[in-house]
């Protein structure tokens, strides 16, 4: 099929570019950061250099089971789907806190809580249980000092960064470069480009997914986001599927489904591959571009807020949040 050339001079610029000259419009279409068009294509030299270096960098979660079986990519979009209350936000906070405690930069964008309330969630998580504001103010929480010191250094929490355009703008700041971004959750991310459309609509979810994917690739960062699930007719969480499934599945480098065991729902127990009471949560790997799918990981809850894998409960490869072991 022959290459069809397009006359750039006949293309209409966007309204915000109406004052540009014709040459400036041509430059806008043909160049990015004044780089020639051909420089955007990979060549043999670049491929050979990449083969000699690391071909696949991973981003650690500091969970032994997750890092062995899933291997989160260093850039891309990881989606954790779950029913309300089944642990997707808890898992994201646990991973975010572990990464922050290891000195990594973490950005946590919340749509469910205010910034101050989300800080309290992290304090409760580090403390190992819920703690009252009075105890914090009276200096009875060592977790308060740990979390607030990280807020000035490598833990960034916001409820005010709302639109996907805001997210792109925020991540351009030098302080947030090389961070892992957690967004709770994808169906709540609005877009300034879809003012007349409902947040969470299929069209908006598709747009947001594409923008997040572009942000991840352009900035070489990992984005971890939660997602609602549409419940299956069977009543079993094993059959739930992602709301806005096609757009999210297309973009996700890794797609997980978390569900909490509940003894009152017998259909769940029939589906469990784990012995009853052997774990509190099941994490299904639905998609993994660089690894196996259809695998399962059991997670356990500690004091209702901390999630641990089996190795940590047995005392091997323990990730010590503080002296709770």
Owner of token pair 């005010």: 160
> How does DSSP assign 40-75, residue by residue?
GS--HHHHHHHHHS-S--B---S-HHHHHHT--BSS
Average the pLDDT over 305-309 and give the result. 84
Contact 88, 80 (CB under 8 A): yes
Q: Is the pLDDT of residue 275 over 50?
A: no
Separation CA 268–CA 230 (nearest Å): 16
Place 213 in a pLDDT band, splitting at 50, 70 and 90. very high
**Per-residue confidence (pLDDT) for residue 273, from 0 to 100:** 39
Closest CA to 180 of 68, 77, 70: 77
State which of 7-11, 23-27, 283-287 shows the largest mean pLDDT. 283-287
**Per-residue confidence (pLDDT) for residue 19, from 0 to 100:** 61
pLDDT digit string, tens, across residues 125-167: 998 888 888 998 898 888 999 999 999 899 999 999 999 999 9
Average the pLDDT over 299-315 and give the result. 77
Residue 270, token pair as written in the block: 């029939």
**Per-residue confidence (pLDDT) for residue 117, from 0 to 100:** 94
Average the pLDDT over 263-285 and give the result. 55
**Per-residue confidence (pLDDT) for residue 260, from 0 to 100:** 84
**Chain centroid offset of residue 249 CA:** 14
Q: Among 65-74, 182-191, 295-304, where is mean pLDDT lowest?
A: 295-304
DSSP, collapsed to helix, strand or coil, labels residue 82 as strand
pLDDT digit string, tens, across residues 104-120: 999 999 999 999 999 99
Residue 138, token pair as written in the block: 């009276």
DSSP, collapsed to helix, strand or coil, labels residue 218 as helix
**Strand bridging mode 295-302 / 306-309:** antiparallel
More confident residue, 207 or 31: 207
Place 316 in a pLDDT band, splitting at 50, 70 and 90. very low
Q: Is the pLDDT of residue 222 over 90?
A: yes
Q: Is the pLDDT of residue 214 over 50?
A: yes
Residues in Cβ contact with 276 at an 8 Å cutoff, skipping those fewer than 6 apart: 263, 269
Mean pLDDT of the chain: 81
CATH of 58-313, one of 3.40.50.300, 2.40.40.20, 3.60.15.10, 3.40.640.10: 3.40.50.300
Closest CA to 221 of 182, 169, 266: 182
Contact 187, 205 (CB under 8 A): yes
Q: Strands (DSSP E) along the chain, which ranges?
A: 76-82, 106-110, 155-158, 180-184, 222-227, 229-230, 241-242, 254-260, 281-288, 295-302, 306-309
**Per-residue confidence (pLDDT) for residue 298, from 0 to 100:** 86
Residue 84, token pair as written in the block: 């309300």
Q: Among 24-28, 151-155, 219-223, where is mean pLDDT lowest?
A: 24-28
Residues in Cβ contact with 219 at an 8 Å cutoff, skipping those fewer than 6 apart: 75, 171, 172, 177
Beta carbons within 10 angstroms of residue 111's beta carbon? 16
Average the pLDDT over 4-12 and give the result. 53
pLDDT digit string, tens, across residues 28-80: 655 555 667 787 788 898 888 878 865 568 899 999 889 989 889 999 999 99
Closest CA to 10 of 24, 20, 25: 25
């Amino acid at each position: 099929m022959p290459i069809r050339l397009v006359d750039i001079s006949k293309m209409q610029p966007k309204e915000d570019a109406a004052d540009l000259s014709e040459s400036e419009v041509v430059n806008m279409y043909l160049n990015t950061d004044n780089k020639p068009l051909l420089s955007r294509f990979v060549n043999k030299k670049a491929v050979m250099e990449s083969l000699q270096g690391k071909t696949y960098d991973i981003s650690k979660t500091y969970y032994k089971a997750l890092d062995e079986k899933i291997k989160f990519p260093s850039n891309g979009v990881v989606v954790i789907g779950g029913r309300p209350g089944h642990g997707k936000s808890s898992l994201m906070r646990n991973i975010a806190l572990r990464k922050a405690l290891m000195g990594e930069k973490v950005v946590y964008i919340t749509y469910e809580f205010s910034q101050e309330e989300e800080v309290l969630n992290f304090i409760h998580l580090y403390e190992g249980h819920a703690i009252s504001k009075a105890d914090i103010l009276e200096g009875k929480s060592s977790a308060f000092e740990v979390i607030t010191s990280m807020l000035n250094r490598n833990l960034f929490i916001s409820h005010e960064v709302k639109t996907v355009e805001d997210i792109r703008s925020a991540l351009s700041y030098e302080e947030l470069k090389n961070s892992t971004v957690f967004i709770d959750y994808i169906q709540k991310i609005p877009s300034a480009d879809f003012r007349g459309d409902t947040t969470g609509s299929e069209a908006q979810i598709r747009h947001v997914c594409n923008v997040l994917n572009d942000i991840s690739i352009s900035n070489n960062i990992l984005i971890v986001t939660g997602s609602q699930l549409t419940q299956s007719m069977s009543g079993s969480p094993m059959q739930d599927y992602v709301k806005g499934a096609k757009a999210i599945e297309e973009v996700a480098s890794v797609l997980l489904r978390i569900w909490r065991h509940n003894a009152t729902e017998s259909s769940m127990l029939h589906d469990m591959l784990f012995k009853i009471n052997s774990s509190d949560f099941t994490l299904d790997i639905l998609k993994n571009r660089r690894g196996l799918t259809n695998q399962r990981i059991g997670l356990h809850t500690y004091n209702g807020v901390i999630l641990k894998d089996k190795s940590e409960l047995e005392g091997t490869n323990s990730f010590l949040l503080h002296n709770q072991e």
